[in-house]
Structure 1
Amino acid sequence: MAETIPLNPITLPLNQISLIEASAGTGKTYTIGSLYLRLLLKAGENNFSRSLNVEEILVVTFTDMATEELKKKIRERITDAIDKLTAFAETQDKSAFKNDEFLTALCHDLNIFEAIHRLKLAEQNMDLAAIYTIHGFCRRMLMQYAFHSGIHFNLELIKDQSDLLVRFANEFWREHFYPLDFESANFIATELVSPTNVLSLLKADLGKDLQVEIENKQALSVPIQIFLPQYLGGYQKALNELKAFWLESADEISAIITNELEKDYPKDQLKSLNRKKYQVKRLGDWINKINQWSNNPRDYQINTTLKDYFLQSSIEKNCEESTDKNKDKKPATPFYSPIFAELEKRVNALMTPDLLSKLTLYHYRQGLQQKLLDYKLNHQEKSFDDLLRLLCEALQGAQGDELAEMIRFQYPFAMIDEFQDTDSQQYAIFSKIYRDNPEKNTGFIMIGDPKQAIYRFRGADIFTYLKASDEAQYRFELTKNYRSEKHLVDGVNALFDFPQSPFIYQNINFTAVDSRDDHLRFYLNGKAEPAYRFYLTESDKVNKTEMAKICAISIQHWLKSAVENQAVFQNEDTCKTLQAANIAVLVRDKNEAALVKNELQKLGIASVYLSDQNSVFDSNVAKELAWVLKACLNVAERPILNAIATALFGLNAADIHQIQQNEADWQRWADSFAQYQQTWQRQGILAMLHQILLEQGISARLLSQATGERDLTDFLHLSEILQQAATLHESEAALLSWFEKQIQGEGRQEAQIRLESERQLVKIVTIHKSKGLEYDLVWLPFLAVPSKDPSKKDINIYYSKERDETLWDIENRNLNALYEETFAEELRLLYVALTRAKYQMAFALPSQFDKKWNALHYVLSQGEIGKEINLSDSKNTETLLQTFKEKMQDNVEICTKPNLEALTALSINTKNDDLKAAEFTGNIEQDWRITSFTSIEQAHRRQHYFTESVGKKHAVFDDAKDYDSQNSIEISTALLNENESNILDLPRGKQVGTALHRHFENCYFSDLANTEEIDKLRQSLQLDETFTEPLQNWLQQISHTPLSNEIGIALADLANKDCIKEMPFYLAIREYFDVEAFNRALKAHHHLPSEPLQFEQIQGMVRGSIDLVFRHNGKYYLVDYKSNFLGSILADYNQEALKKEMLHSHYDWQYLIYTLALHRYLQSVVPKYDYARDFGGVFYLFLRGMNGEPQSGVFYDRPSVELITELDGVF
């Protein structure tokens, strides 16, 4: 392992594999920006071999928000560097750098004017910068190098695959559990409960390649069809035999023990049974309980009374024990009976129900994963996890070395931010691309902080990070904290800098960091506040409500002082008054957030929970809105009364009673809802809901309440969702039914609750969400809550150092490793929490720590409490804090009896700031647009054949991608006979073309005649079953028709990995589409007598979609399917007829555009690509004419190099 040294951004080697460990607040993003500038300018020592463009510098992070932030910061660094270098070029005075040490040092080796030029170019091209999330990078590589990755071009990314998981979980449950006998089904229903419950247990780890640690490997290797009868059924059979044996032996057992209890023993002999435990009266109760258990087929657990008192080992343990009073007596002779030994043998032979349940979960997991994999092999949907898996598999596959080389060629340098959140699959991807590079002409930097690895629940793997860090050629660390005031930095140093492994693992070190000297300090009522303020409750137990209350009152006092300008951040030059938005309360989850929010609300303090992941459908507003919609749909007394009784209308019981009694009042409400119903039917649901909002004064009513902004935001959010959903439902009733199902959670769409306000509010945020952020003042009210016992979970996962992989400890044999991992992450989470504040942190703690492990307890004791979940002793909190205070002196304040008293509730300010809409003063380019060749060809027809009917002409693209020229389908009612030519009478029109294209896209070419898919095709064409066999024969002929005598290949011969189906493209027009130049190129180099194109000049892009691109013998070909009807006999599809149709429909224009698009694509992804050598040609397949004979129905052309080269200059 390389030695860790302080980082100097000027001298860091850029052509090696390096690791940068960036402690919290040490300027990680600034460092990335500095290295980015060096790469753009080829500057500094140990620089890269050449200057790079923004498109060549890969920067990867893990979230969309972090990606946008990185882009913004890097752009700002480039702009700042341009400004400073420009000022320096004009003055030659280094004061132009404004104390920017990095640029000052960098400029020594720069050609300043060339540097400014390159930076301005980079600034202009920042929208092209290769700054992506890890999933965005994987998706881009899979699609860009589709031939090497084997991925469909029309990959559809699904953010949430919950619906698929629910579907497959239900399928598995039905397939394997419905046929079970009663006792086994009872076990499943009790242990696994339901498919929904199983998913809740498995979902978090479903995407992981998880190995299982168990002694009985056989139980894992058998398929579920064998496991259930052999293990679950076998358990029930053995259990029933045990119960039967007990019932047969119960009387004998009673007699044996009764005889033993009545037996006389010599006075100097201890008894074989402890008669304080074993008594005749108790014996009868015990036997009755076990008899009831034996007669209950639903009870599959081993009876505890049986285990504790009637097994041979239990009886031997329950002999009379020696005490001080009877220590002179002879030891008891162990009581033995074959019947107890037999009971023990039978019990020990049974697998525990807990293990059996987990094994069933394992097989359920395997089945779910296989169903997902099978589905995704045949469909375009891919999840985020799939993107990583597919790219990793592609890189490890047969063409992996070539794919890695192409990615390196595209991105010779890569920086991976937040690398501590990586996993083994992600590291395998970058390791293959950069670490395994034999030419060493690339650079790779991993940037992270193992002390902040807190996303284990998302799959992050700290052990992968540690392994990667060992493999780095250079290791650097950032050693100065720029975020926090000096005394806060000193406090973190004091808490974590101790020899007892502050983060549990030896290879996660803590290095004390320096701080800035020019920070502001927090002053309250004229006095400098300590960096750390601890409030100790009078209770020695953790009371979250009390802690939340202390937190809220403390914040109220801060804000009260701020109103009087007595709460400020200041130094010699600056003074800023505290505002509510400067305060953050860090919590673990939404329950803790709710406690704090509630206490703040009581004191009139508005707050916002920034980590709210709830669905808007779970809100009270959603339920109330459902009542309102019911009334609008059904204008009757009961629905209207239910609607106006909701909080939205603000009526009380007396108001509603008055409306019922007063006919005029009632009629007004009935008329209003009748009007709302008409608005819904005529203008849509959004217009209706806005009408209700305005007429009923709902906005003002809600905003006058403490939770008003939250409720109004939910109302408007739901209104938008309903408007979008309305387009998918045929009636108002169907829409309401869908809305009610969403509220109930059935097939729910993603609808995360929106932030209600961005005003000056106290922020409540989870510690996880706060990572990477900073706040002026931080409150941590719940840090003393003890750690949860991780062994209580159904799936316990830990990292095995011996096997170097993550294991499911199904038998709980390695709990110590599990505890270590849990406690280590708790400490990392504590570190994140303690490094968010800039000026002060406040805590609420009990007077005594709990006897369960806690991270803050661990660091305050400097590791003395050890690593056991249950502690032998609890520490006095004040004693621990005094030790900390001795190191920190006046910068720690301990309040043993908080004298905080709530002040009068602050008034909630609902007044909005005066806002003004921004005005756009830029210039919008009107003639830039994205067009298709459909538009170009149709414009040509309008101009060239103005006097003719447009309906008689064929378009290159029509609405159904030119699948046929007819606008309506003509279904033939005549049955096909066995004469193959009658397939030419297949119905015509767009629907036929669309269905055939979909069939070709969804099927392997070797399986085009698949019966199941043929049935789908037949049904989509509205044909009866008599068409099945002719369709099968025809598609068999199509797939086996030789496309060319020269290359000797048919569709059926194509491997799926060599095909890209439905390849979309956007062909950039470099300046303007020059129609005259296009016509000149065709006239000079096109062998077909195509007529001149007539079209106005355009600029922008031409889009299209190629039906099929395939690779054969190193050459690339494009294919387009045509279902055009050319005649009723095969002779109508001969080569002369096809050529005539190609020209008549201008399909030659189409394939020239396709060829140019494919040519440009291949240039970008195929190393050393050469059109003359690598492009094979174009096939247009007129499907009705393909009968299995060579080239039947096939038009082929290969545009000349000269033509494509000239067209490349036209577009």
Structure 2
Amino acid sequence: VFETLEAQEMLWLLQAVMTPERENTLRSALATSMMGLNALDIETLNNDEHAWDAVVEEFDGYRQIWRKRGVMPMLRALMSARNIAENLLATAGGERRLTDILHISELLQEAGTQLESEHALVRWLSQHILEPDSNASSQQMRLESDKHLVQIVTIHKSKGLEYPLVWLPFITNFRVQDQAFYHDRHSFEAVLDLNAAPESVDLAEVERLAEDLRLLYVALTRSVWHCSLGVAPLVRRRGDKKGDTDVHQSALGRLLQKGEPQDAAGLRTCIEALCDDDIAWQTAQTGDNQPWQVNDALTAELNARTLQRLPGDNWRVTSYSGLQQRGHGIAQDLMPRLDVDAAGVVSVVEEPTLTPHQFPRGASPGTFLHSLFEDLDFTQPVDPNWVQEKLELGGFESQWEPVLTEWITAVLQAPLNETGVSLSQLSDRDKQVEMEFYLPISEPLIASQLDALIRQFDPLSAGCPPLEFMQVRGMLKGFIDLVFRHEGRYYLLDYKSNWLGEDSSAYTQQAMAAAMQAHRYDLQYQLYTLALHRYLRHRIADYDYDRHFGGVIYLFLRGVDKEHPQQGIYTTRPNAGLIALMDEMFAGMTLEEA
């Protein structure tokens, strides 16, 4: 189900609900077929400021529902307000699409109970779209309707329903009344004769037959085009089966034989008398008790066609983590931007004074720290109430509020490189949070070739474990935590919450370089640089890598210390020749051609 259009549209929808103030994400959600708007509708919204503000306010309301009650109630509210179910069901294939949407909603709700934030859930969905598990039973597409299947139902349950074709294979069967249970003919009270007097049994049998006749009427009137009845000379007595049958005791036999017992031949005569232009009968063919055998004379010799060319590599969308998961145990966590700190360590030793180095470690705390900088206005002082709210939503104790407030402030004010720029100097105009990119891979990308290239140009890569992944062709998708502009140059920044030691002194340049090598963050920033390089090349008329690209900044959050400004900040700038050759490699050009 994650391979469907509905999954991708659901991702755009969640992104819009998470950040309705961002026009591009909201516009992407409104343009989905799920929302049912056309180009004219969206253009009208673009030109009407009040209407656009109303939509932003509407989606902000959905965001509040998501935060307070969960993703499923939010999606239900959105679908109800926008009449999504009604609109889809009015279109061809709408039932299939609605089933997929509800299925994905259930999977999101289940995943949301295990994840810490809305951002984590969006990343979860994005990752499953990139790498769906077709073998997982929960991800198998569900049947949107059973109306096209053969349905086996009781006559009782078919009341009020209609079917194109109806088969009643056992309609001459009946259940003999074995209890003298009936209703008094005068008072209409229920009576159970424990003595089972013959007259009481007869009255109970009459009521049984009346009920069977009513059900027969229901069964015969369910079909639109055709109704088939299976009629057999039913004999309930033991021993000799010749002579009169018991069909006359059934509801159908009552109508065919007028309640008179007859043998099989008499039953056939009654059926033949009933037939006309609209009613036909035929005798079922009896088998010869021999198993069916293939007729060898009718079997033609089959020859397989000869393969004329080699099949191409499967084209797919993957991610950096998708490549690394095919390696041999390297602890990669570069996409979707989550840092798994010191695997398995999720608790700290209690000390009198709390510090950032004691903040819980692991995937969930890493996601939490990462999400703080997605929502933060860098130019404003850190609001302790905002931090407190984030801690509560993340499931952390309130005692961390003063620590986290001071910690975030230190990160925002820390000089990032030799220019002295800090996050606190970046306005919304000069930064882009969570910049999404796609890198086309025109020809199969081979790990050994890419590894050899980056080792040649980057000393950090030369000391890394080897890259190992299956060759891939298609698109490589990713997110850059932060892209910002300063003094005419563009920088990319990535947040890391890795724990390297008990205090900031552990976050030396050598220690951070070792962590970069262990996790192969070198390839991450090289791919990020290539993506940003291609983007800037198309957006800046006189673009030049050396003049416009400032470099890469890795912010090891736990190591940032206002007393030691360079601790916890790792900077680098990939060689221009490396980025040029990577650009050509991803474009399908060989290095000899380059």
Q: Scaled by the length of structure 1, what TM-score is found?
A: 0.26
Specify which structure has the bigger relative contact order, considering alpha-carbon pairs within 8 angstroms and separated by 6 or more residues: 1
